[in-house]
Each structure stands twice: as C-alpha cells, then as structure tokens.
Amino acid sequence: MAWGMVGLVVWNLISAGRDGLAQAQQMHKIPCSECRFFTGDYHLKCTVHPERALSEEAMNCADYEPQRWG
C-alpha cells in the first residue's frame, strides 16, 4: 500500500512537470516582449492591443513589428 502511494505521488509529480513544461513552451511563442509596441510597463503593456498583450491571443498579432536596435 505504501509503495502504491509513493508511485502515485511520483506519477503526479512527473505529470505536473510535463504539463508545466508544455505551458512554458506555449508561452515562449508569444512575441510581445520583442515587439516595438510593447512598453514593458505593467499599467500599459502594449500601446496597440493592451488587453491581449502577453496572452495566447497575441501569438498571431497582425500588428507585430520587431524592435529595431541601433
């Protein structure tokens, strides 16, 4: 019985880690932080679409423009 409980705990930890990794990979696809309209200010994150900034809705933003450095 004790080994069954240990196995269940390990299985849940592995499952949670896998789900967390999948969520992190999904969030890294959001291009907001590299967009020229992204402010980085928590009051107004994006000057074009503030309600969608840093969310999954921003993944295919039609107004995305990469920042130009230099």
Query: Phi and psi of 55, rounded to 5°?
Result: -120, 170
pLDDT at residue 70 tops 70: no
Query: pLDDT value at position 11?
Result: 97
Which pTM value belongs to this model? 0.60
Contact 61, 52 (CB under 8 A): yes
Specify the pLDDT at position 50.
92
pLDDT at 67: 82
Beta bridge partners of 66: 35
Given this model, what pLDDT does residue 69 score? 64
State pLDDT tens for residues 7-65: 999 999 999 999 999 999 988 899 998 899 999 888 999 999 999 999 989 988 989 98
